[in-house]
Every structure is written in C-alpha cells, then in structure tokens.
Amino acid sequence: MNGGDEFGASGDLPPPLDWRFSQVFGERSAGEEVQEVDIISAIEFDKSGDHLATGDRGGRVVLFERTDSKNATGARRDLEGTDYPLRHPEFRYKTEFQSHEPEFDYLKSLEIEEKINKIRWSQTANGALFLLSTNDKTIKFWKVQDKKIKKICDINTDSSRLIGNGSVASSSNSNSTNTCLANGGLPDNSLSNDFSLQPGGIPLLRLPAVTTSHETSPVARCRRVYTHAHDYHINSISNNSDGETFISADDLRINLWNLEISNQSFNIVDVKPANMEDLTEVITSAEFHPTHCNTLAYSSSKGSIRLIDLRQSALCDSHSKLFEDTETPSSRSFFTEIIASISDIKFAKQGRYILSRDYMTLKLWDINMDSGPVSTFQVHEYLRPKLCDLYENDSIFDKFECCLSGDGLRVATGSYSNLFRVFGVTPGNTETTTLEASKNPMRRQVTTPSRPSRSLSSITRVVRREGGSPGTDGNGNTFDHTTKLLHLAWHPTENSIACAAANSLYMYYA
Amino acid sequence: MSMVDEPLYPIAVLIDELKNDDIQLRLNSIRRLSIIARALGEERTRKELIPFLSENNDDDDEVLLAMAEELGVFIPYVGGVEHAHVLLPPLETLSSVEETCVREKAVDSLCRIGSQMRENDLVDHFIPLAKRLSAGEWFTARVSACGIFHIAYPSASDMVKTELRSIYSQLCQDDMPMVRRAAATNLGKFAATIESAHLKTDIMSMFEDLTQDDQDSVRLLAVEGCAALGKLLEPQDCVTHLLPVIVNFSQDKSWRVRYMVANQLYELCEAVGPEPTRTDLVPAYVRLLRDNEAEVRIAAAGKVTKFCRILNPELAIQHILPCVKELSSDSSQHVRSALASVIMGMAPVLGKDATIEHLLPIFLSLLKDEFPDVRLNIISKLDQVNQVIGIDLLSQSLLPAIVELAEDRHWRVRLAIIEYIPLLASQLGVGFFDDKLGALCMQWLQDKVHSIREAAANNLKRLAEEFGPEWAMQHIVPQVLEMINNPHYLYRMTILLAVSLLAPVMGSEITCSKLLPVVITASKDRVPNIKFNVAKMMQSLIPIVDQSVVEKMIRPCLVELSEDPDVDVRFFANQALQSIDNVMMSS
C-alpha cells in the first residue's frame, strides 16, 4: 500500500468473503413485538475494535466488549494468528446507561426526543472509555470505567455513643454533625485556639479503613454536556484527530467544540440563507478527516459532498473542494432530487477516499478526483419502479448508513427486509454479497454475482455494478419497507460487521 | 468502634467524612486536610494519612482537585522539607487522571513542592518521578510530565541531564497530539533551565520539530514558545534561529497560527532587536494587518499600539499608519472595534504633530462609525489622547457621538456610555459639561430601563464627587429634586435612589436642608413601594446627619411608617427604627 492508496494497489484480487453468523444480542422471539424505545439508532466500534457501542431510541447507550482481546493484544495476537486460524471477534455485554432523557423546550414548545442519533468514541485514557453521544439537540461526553467496589469498615465516630441520634455514617442525620455542617464543617479557630494539639498527634483518631473487593463494575459518568448550540436537529458528530476538538452538524450549521469546554462552540459552517424561503439544500452528514486535523467533509441533500479546510478562514462558508456526480441520470423524475440526498458519508481509514450513501446507491469518491465518483454501487435497484410507493409511505426519506472495512477493500450498507449488502471496491472486483440480518445470513444470498453494467476504461476506474433485480429478490419475498437495516458498522481491523435490525444487534464475520 | 473524647469529636467526624457518601462532606474534609494532619501529628500524617490519600484517589474530580491543591502546601504538616518527598506519590497519581484541571493543579503542586525540596531528595525522588510520568502508559501522565521537567532538570547530574533532554525530545515527538501540545507549552520553561550550550542544539531542534508539526494546534503553541525562547537566546541566535520561523509562521496556511503570531509579534521584536525588526518583522506585521482573515486582523489591530511603542515613530508613521487607516474602514466591525480600543494609545507614541496630522482623522471617522462598540471604545480611552493634543480638536465630533450613543435603542449601549460620563466630564471640564451633557444625565433618570436609571443615579453621585458639592448643588440637586413629583412611582423611586447616593457626597448640611425634606414628603406617598424605600433610605441617612435631626425629623417619620397598613412598609420602618436605637446605644 502506498500513501494511503487503499484501492489503487491493484493486482491480486482479494478472495470473496464467506460471511457467517457470529452473534446476536436482543434477538426477538417469534411474535414478540418490538418496543419503540428498544430500536437501535446508532452503532459504533471504537478505534481498537475492542468495544462496540449502540444507542437506541429510548436514549440508552449499550456497550459491548470483545471477549478474546483481554490477554493477547496487538502484535501478539497477530503472531498467534499466523499459527492458528484466527478466532473471529466475539463480544459480550459490558454495561449500559441512560444517556439522554426526553426533554421539553419551553421556549419553542418543542419536545426533544431522547433518541440517540450518533455515538462517537473518543481517546481512551487511564483504562477508561470515553464516548460522545448525541440526540437532536444535546451532545454528552461519557466516561465509562471499571470501578472496584469499596467498603468503608472502620470509622471513629460510633452511632451507639450518641443518644437519640441516627447513624453517623450518614452524618447529616446526627445533630452534632449538623452543627458542624452549618459552620462549613468545623470552625477553624476553634481548633487552632482551643485545642492544644499534642506534637505526636492524637492516637485515638484513625483514618477510615477501606476494603477493596476484587470485583469491578463498570460505571458510566457524564463528564460534559454540550448544549444550546443547535437550532436544528443534530445529524452528526465527529472527533478531530487532534484529540481536543470535535464537530457537531445540524441541518444548516456545523459547530466546532473543544472537548473540555462545554459552554462555547464556534460556528464554522453556516448554510442558512438570509431568507428561509431560499433554502434549497441542507447538511445531512459531516465528518472530520481521520488524520488531517484541518479537513472535514460534509454532505448535502442535493447529493454533493464538500471538503473544507479549517485553515483558510474562521467561517468556512466556501468549500475547498466539491464532489458531485455530474452524470445526469438516464431518466429524470419527480424523485430524482429526493433520492440524490446523501444520508451518510464516511472517510476511509487513511483519508483518501470518502464513501457516501444516497437512497439508491453507494458511491466511492477519491478526494483527489472531483469530477465524479470512483465507483457507484447499486444497493437496491429493484426498488426503482416502486419509488412512488416508497414516497407515499415516507420510506424514501429513510437515512441508511454506510461503512468501509478497515483495509478499505470493501464497503457495506443496509437496505429493506433487513438486508445489507457488501461490495468489493478494488478495480475489477465484482464481489457483491447480500446478507440478511438473521441467524442465517445467506438465506437470501443473491446467487448470481452481479456483473458490471458497462465497462469503462481503467483510467477513470469507474465501475458500475448492478445489484439484485426484482427477479432475484431472495426467495421471491416481496420487500418489506418496515424492516429496514439503517445502522451498521464495520470492525476497524477485522472482517466483522455489526448491524441493527430493529431492536436486535446482529454480528457477522468472514 | 473506638470511642473518641468529646473535644476531638469534630475532628473525628471530619476524618470519617473523608469517605462519606456525600461529595460536599468529602470536599469539606479535604479542604480541611491540614487540620486532620495536625490532629494526627507529623509522623502519622506521613505514615497513614498520605498513603490513605494515595489509595483513595478514585473520587470525583472536585474532590481530587481540592486534594491536589491542599497537597501543594502540605510540607509543614509532614514534618518539613526533609520529608517533602512523601507528598509526591499521591500527586503522581493525581497528575495522571484524565480531568485536565485536576492534572494541572497536581502539576502545580508538584512544582511547588519540588522547588522547595533538597537537592539530593530531588535526585532520589523527583527526577525518577519525572521519568516515570514520561514513560506513562496513558497520555495523561506524559502530558503532566512535560510540566515538571523544569523543576527536575537543574539538580540532575550531567548524565541524567542528557537523559532528561532526550526524554523531553521524545515527548515532543509523542504519538499523541495532546502530549506534543503539552511539550510545546512547557518548552519555554524547560529551556530556561538549560545550559546555553544545549539550548542552541537540543532545544532548538525540539522547537523546530514542533514548528513543523502537522497538527495546527501544536504549531500554534510553538508560536507561543517563540517569545519565551527569544528571551533566552542571544540576539544574533534569535536572528538566525527564530526569525525565519516567525516569518514562516506569519505566512502559515492556517489562520489560527497567523492569529497567534499577530498576538505575539510585538514580544518577538524585543528579542530580535531593532534592525531585524525593521527589515523582517515590520513587513510581517503589515501583512498580518492586511490578512484576508478577519480574526487575524482583529488580533493584529489589537496590538497596534504595543507594536508601535517598540518602533521609532518614523517607522510607525511610514509603515503602520497606512494600515491603520485601512483598518479604520475595515469591512469587519470587530476589526474596527479592536482598533478603536487601542488606537488612542498611539497618540503618546507618535507625539502631538503626528497625532493631529495622521491620527485625528482616524479618531473622527471611528467616532462616526455605525457600530456603537467602535464609538464607545474610542470614548473610553479619551484620556490618553487628551494628554497629547488636548480635547478641543475632538470635542466638536465628540458631542454628536455621545448624544447618539446616549439615545441608542440598545440599553446596553446607553449603559456603557453612562459609565464613561465621569471620565468624559473630567476630560472635558465643567464648562463643556454644563453646556452639553448635563441635560443628558437628567434624561437618563427617566429612561425606560431600570438598569439605565440605576446607572444614571450612580453617575450623578460620581459627577458630584468629580466636581464637588457646590457645583452639584447648582447643577444636579435642584433638577433631581424637581423630578420627585413624576407621576410614575418607578421614576420617583429612581429619584429616591439618586438622593440616597448623593447624600453622603453632599454632606450633612445640604442633606438636612434640601434632601431630607423631600424624602419626608415622599414618606406620604400613596404607593407602598415608595414608602418602604423611604424607610430603607432613612436608615442609610442616619450616619450622615446629626443625631438631633434624626430625633426631630427621621424618627417621627419612621414611627408613622411603622403603623402603615402595608406589612412591608412596617417591616422596613421597624428595621430602620431599630438601627436608630443601635446607633444611640453605641454612641
């Protein structure tokens, strides 16, 4: 690999992956009804891939940890892996906490849902995990740490000695300590003047003895709350590689925060027109470059991606690069603009490529090539005739996420009927897999590998592929627009995908 | 459970509350850690309390912050300087927690203790601590390490010094930007302790690494280091090593870096000396004043006076003034505002003639700026210009500016100008004031916004102080007293406030003859709010006037009020009566 060129290194095509079911959390039993609050609304692996977080519509964040990473990490695991077939990553439930609560904005008479829109992991420190979670309005910074359970077993004051007073351990119950509290605990001068302290100290006094048990339990604490900075709904948060700042994006603005300062943020992008009637385009997603601290990308409802350079000016209203698919769609229709809206963008690990998802396609962009996408993948082309129905039931506005594998060789995104699709992105690679979020992912596997609809010269390296047509739709089931797989994440180092089907978290490996 | 003697009980509680479930109680105990230490004695403090604190450091940040602070001044309680090192372990753990403010406080305390420790203790305990923190697994420890090297370094042996320098250079290249930022921030402090031979080699190469860091946030902290390093280096070394870096930074791609340069540049001029300043830094500064990013121009404009003070007047007039002229009509109001807040200071630098020729037109145009902050900033610094060219040249433009601000529709602007009225009055003199501003001051007493009326009353007091009671008697008091008949009780209340503020300045005689009768009349007001404010006011008048007056005039009035149907009026009347009695008793 040269210079972050994940896809350019052509040559041997990676063998197609054989996807297998690994785990499921929160599986539904037959006939069980899904509670709205339990529906997963965000999934994110941390940088090491040892932890996974999900957020749900009930404002909860659930953390999972890898079971096989405890003793052998990094190089050691790689070495072992050369001798033995590597075990696929397995996760177990670690802890969960209530991140957001429903709120009411009295000034605007608006209910603020507790639904977690995004989760982003921050830098691990001191063995504690840190993450940002956001709902529509408020971002919170969480620390999750394993705490040893401690018990205090020996104290000076004994409750039995105090007649008529309650327990002293909770000293606010006792009258005598109440008087102390009134003076802020204890008057300074009473000690320095009235007590003649013995030079050797007072032997009777002793420090509380604390016994620490070996059991630990994860404790989540909210460290900072970043609020009152967004007039519209927050759709993205993203950490900067400098480790001290992050951005939050809503429909019209992007704000820059310092992790340690929760009472101010800087507006760096503002697309709000002077007159709201002139509004034609909103921000749909934003992400920092994985290594360049001054570069960020945001996508719009018109299907464009803008790259901005924070060095240029304080308010980055002018982009430094604009990526648009200039190719005119073969048939324009009422839906053309709606389905062009990008629902998610992700930088590839080394930052050269950006993956974007619009309603019908996944597109891969090279940030050095703004003439058009490097490749376009049709996700569910068979739905094209049904766009009218999808518009009627609002499904056309569903926001599907997308993800890239750590090595950048494959991309994945979700669809309806709890299906998700994995595409190979190396030039010439036609690997296309359709999986169902169930214990038997290959049930609906499209058997015929899709072929490029037309070959373009390798210079432009544009590859178009056609997905399953309605005829190859699984077992002939009609698609189900209510079971949509919106959220999924690819493990940063291994071929493992976590995806959410309603309230269940399914994990697959290859 | 042990029994504790009665007098020790408060201390026992204090100790127990170190582990109370309530954070407020824990915090309280930690804040009084010295009392606990004295109760335990020095030896048990060393052997029990300090280890106890080292083990119990998984507390809330607030408690940890307090602990870090207390431990910094704990040397006397552990038995003096020879035992100071026992304080290092708890501070070591505190300096690797993830909350920045706790870490910073712990590093502060470590430095404070380290600077008092004996040399061999530093070698045995402090230097190993610095090394341990630099090799910490988490970036938090390494960040803290950067902050204590300047304490560790001086007492180390030559060999260890070499090691410490190489460790610091590692920290400058750490994987984590946070650590590199800390290394950049502390480089100046560390460099100050280093022998000049190594300064030019080791430190400058670290500095160069930092200046080329790909994280903007690291580079801009390196800019801050420039000034500190500049003070340490010989002028010729500054020119060869620092000057190119500064000039590069002033053209950095990132506006944040240029912003830092704009803020710091004047300090660097001193370091490099007059000639390189003229040839390199003045052009760099001029570029920054004309930067295309408004934030950079704001920073540069804000330093224009400080920069000019370093230059000789000819250079300032030749190079800086043209830019200042441009900035005075900058498209960004914030740039103009920053310029307005400092430009008056240029007058003493340029001298009378140059000020009249070059600056006066700028002052006048800024005084007519459409943005009130710009005008206010000019007015707030009027005294600086007055000393150089006198006020007459400005007064013509000043008055319309003041009047316009005084009537601005934003009450905060009106408030700001009121605050400057005493300054203006002192600069403009009684004559000008009487003619032009007196009426405005009265007008504010009837403003719609309470804060303005309050400030207006206060303003009258300050004017009376400035020009003296006689002047006030003539120009303030009659006008104020006239307004007591305003039909709206809120305005009458403002007058009462003004009277109560004026009374101490005017003195006993005028208070009795002029002010008190008005107040007594007001006690018959139909609005209870006025009446209880009269009661409150009378209480404040008691110390000013003679006791006979109190008995003759104030007391009867209060007695009457104390039988008022309104409960609040009775309350304040009784309170005032009580304070009369107290004054009587004490005298």
For residue B101, give how far its alpha carbon lies from the nearest alpha carbon of chain A (Å). 10
Considering only CB atoms, which chain A residues are within 8 Å of B10?
180, 186, 190-191
Are residues B11 and A202, on separate chains, in Cβ contact within 8 Å? yes
Considering only CB atoms, which chain B residues are within 8 Å of A127?
138
- Per-residue b/e over B281-310, b at no fewer than 16 CB within 10 Å? bbebbebbbebebbbbbbbbbbbbbebbeb
Q: Are A184 and B40 spatial neighbours (Cβ–Cβ below 8 Å)?
A: no
Which one, of B79, B11, B92, lies nearest residue B47 by Cα? B79
Give chain A's mean pLDDT: 80
Quote the CA–CA distance of B83 and A253 in Å, as a whole number. 57
Q: Residue B163: which residues within 8 A CB-CB, separation 6 or more?
A: B131
**Would you state the pLDDT for residue A169?**
39
pLDDT digits (tens, 9 = 90+) for A89-109: 889 999 999 999 999 988 888
- By residue count, chain A amounts to 510
Better-predicted residue by pLDDT, A151 or A77:
A151
Identify the band that residue B534 occupies on the pLDDT scale cut at 50, 70 and 90: very high
For residue B244, give how far its alpha carbon lies from the nearest alpha carbon of chain A (Å). 21
Better-predicted residue by pLDDT, B301 or A196:
B301
Best of B3, B13, B25, B96 to disrupt the A interface (most A CBs within 10 Å) is B13
**Would you state the pLDDT for residue B336?**
95
Which residue bears the tokens 């403003």? B447
Identify the band that residue A113 occupies on the pLDDT scale cut at 50, 70 and 90: very high
Quote the CA–CA distance of A229 and A267 in Å, as a whole number. 9
**Would you state the pLDDT for residue B6?**
60
Pick from A199, A204, A241: CB nearest B8: A204
Better-predicted residue by pLDDT, A81 or B123:
B123
**Would you state the pLDDT for residue A108?**
86
Are residues A205 and B177, on separate chains, in Cβ contact within 8 Å? no
Identify the band that residue B352 occupies on the pLDDT scale cut at 50, 70 and 90: confident
pLDDT digits (tens, 9 = 90+) for B563-576: 999 999 999 999 99
Quote the CA–CA distance of A376 and A365 in Å, as a whole number. 9
Quote the CA–CA distance of B169 and A249 in Å, as a whole number. 38
pLDDT digits (tens, 9 = 90+) for B9-25: 788 888 888 888 888 99
**Would you state the pLDDT for residue A460?**
36
- Has residue A312 got a pLDDT over 60? yes
pLDDT digits (tens, 9 = 90+) for B399-454: 888 888 888 888 888 898 898 888 888 888 888 787 778 888 888 998 999 999 99
**Would you state the pLDDT for residue A374?**
92
Which residue bears the tokens 């948060």? A237
**Would you state the pLDDT for residue B379?**
85
Are residues A169 and B41, on separate chains, in Cβ contact within 8 Å? no
**Would you state the pLDDT for residue A78?**
59
Which residue bears the tokens 């010439």? A428
Identify the band that residue A489 occupies on the pLDDT scale cut at 50, 70 and 90: very high
Considering only CB atoms, which chain B residues are within 8 Å of A157?
4, 9, 12-13, 16
Are residues A292 and B140, on separate chains, in Cβ contact within 8 Å? no
Q: Chain B contact for A82, CB < 8 A?
A: no
**Would you state the pLDDT for residue A74?**
54
Which residue bears the tokens 């995104």? A413
A27-36, A183-192, A220-229, B515-524: range with lowest mean pLDDT: A183-192
Identify the band that residue A478 occupies on the pLDDT scale cut at 50, 70 and 90: low
Looking at the DSSP bridge assignments, the partners of residue A60 are: A98
Q: Chain B contact for A310, CB < 8 A?
A: yes
Are residues A186 and B9, on separate chains, in Cβ contact within 8 Å? no
**Would you state the pLDDT for residue A462?**
35
- Has residue A315 got a pLDDT over 70? yes
**Would you state the pLDDT for residue A332?**
77
Looking at the DSSP bridge assignments, the partners of residue A507 are: A23, A498
Burial class (CB in 10 A: 0-12, 13-18, 19+), A388: exposed
**Would you state the pLDDT for residue A282?**
95
- Has residue A464 got a pLDDT over 80? no
Are residues B181 and A181, on separate chains, in Cβ contact within 8 Å? no
Averaged pLDDT for residues A473-491: 76
Give all strands (DSSP E) within A34-183, no chain letters.
Answer: 40-45, 51-56, 60-66, 91-98, 103-105, 110-112, 118-121, 129-134, 139-154
Pairing, β A20-25 against β A504-509: antiparallel
Query: Alpha carbon B44 to chain centroid distance?
Result: 42
Whole-prediction pTM: 0.81
Q: Is the dihedral of CA B207, B209, B212, B214 positive or negative?
A: negative
Per residue, the 3-state secondary structure of B361-384, as one string, reads: HHHHHHHCCCCHHHHHHHHHCHHH
Identify the band that residue A455 occupies on the pLDDT scale cut at 50, 70 and 90: very low
Percent of chain B clearing pLDDT 70 (strictly above): 99
Give chain B's mean pLDDT: 89
Shortest CA distance from B29: residue in chain A: A185
Identify the band that residue A88 occupies on the pLDDT scale cut at 50, 70 and 90: confident
Better-predicted residue by pLDDT, A376 or B19:
A376
Pick from B15, B217, B256: CB nearest A207: B15
Q: Chain B contact for A76, CB < 8 A?
A: no
Beginning with the edge strand found earlier in the chain, give each strand of the sheet holding A295-300 in spatial order.
A283-288, A295-300, A305-309, A321-323
ipTM above 0.85, yes or no: no
Considering only CB atoms, which chain A residues are within 8 Å of B98?
125-126, 128, 130, 143
Mean pLDDT comparison of B9-18, B132-141, B545-554, highest-scoring range: B132-141
Percent of chain A clearing pLDDT 90 (strictly above): 51
Are residues B177 and A244, on separate chains, in Cβ contact within 8 Å? yes
Q: Chain B contact for A74, CB < 8 A?
A: no
- Has residue A321 got a pLDDT over 80? yes
Are residues B4 and A143, on separate chains, in Cβ contact within 8 Å? no
- Has residue B463 got a pLDDT over 70? yes
Considering only CB atoms, which chain B residues are within 8 Å of A197?
38-39, 41
Q: Chain B contact for A314, CB < 8 A?
A: yes
Quote the CA–CA distance of A98 and A487 in Å, as a whole number. 20
Q: Residue A168: which residues within 8 A CB-CB, separation 6 or more?
A: A155, A157, A158, A159, A162, A174, A177, B13, B16
**Would you state the pLDDT for residue A158?**
58
Considering only CB atoms, which chain A residues are within 8 Å of B28?
181, 184-185
**Would you state the pLDDT for residue A27?**
84
A 159-188 residues with CB below 8 A of B? Answer: 160-161, 168-172, 176-177, 180-181, 184-186, 188
Which one, of B508, B438, B448, lies nearest residue B480 by Cα? B438
Averaged pLDDT for residues B52-59: 83
Averaged pLDDT for residues A404-430: 91
Better-predicted residue by pLDDT, A173 or A13:
A13
Percent of chain A clearing pLDDT 70 (strictly above): 77
Pick from A161, A201, A208: CB nearest B40: A201
Q: What are phi and psi of B7, to 5 degrees?
A: -65, -25
Averaged pLDDT for residues A178-182: 38
Quote the CA–CA distance of B5 and A100 in Å, as a whole number. 49
Token pair for A133 = 């979670």
- Has residue A5 got a pLDDT over 80? no
pLDDT digits (tens, 9 = 90+) for A47-63: 999 999 999 999 999 99
Identify the band that residue A488 occupies on the pLDDT scale cut at 50, 70 and 90: very high
Whole-angstrom CA distances from A92 to A22, A52, A96 are 12, 10, 12
**Would you state the pLDDT for residue A463?**
36
Are residues B255 and A195, on separate chains, in Cβ contact within 8 Å? no
Considering only CB atoms, which chain A residues are within 8 Å of B20?
169-171
- Has residue A284 got a pLDDT over 90? yes
Shortest CA distance from B49: residue in chain A: A207
**Would you state the pLDDT for residue A264?**
93
Looking at the DSSP bridge assignments, the partners of residue A54 are: A43, A62
Task: Give, in degrees to the nearest 5, the angle at Cα B186 between B180 and B192.
Answer: 135
Considering only CB atoms, which chain A residues are within 8 Å of B11?
186, 191, 202, 205
Considering only CB atoms, which chain A residues are within 8 Å of B40?
201-202, 205, 207
For residue A315, give how far its alpha carbon lies from the nearest alpha carbon of chain B (Å). 9
- Has residue B520 got a pLDDT over 50? yes
Are residues A158 and B3, on separate chains, in Cβ contact within 8 Å? yes
Q: Chain B contact for A127, CB < 8 A?
A: yes
Are residues B13 and A180, on separate chains, in Cβ contact within 8 Å? yes
Cβ atoms within 10 A of the Cβ of A456, count? 12
Across the A:B interface, residue pairs with CB atoms under 8 Å apart total 180
**Would you state the pLDDT for residue B32?**
92
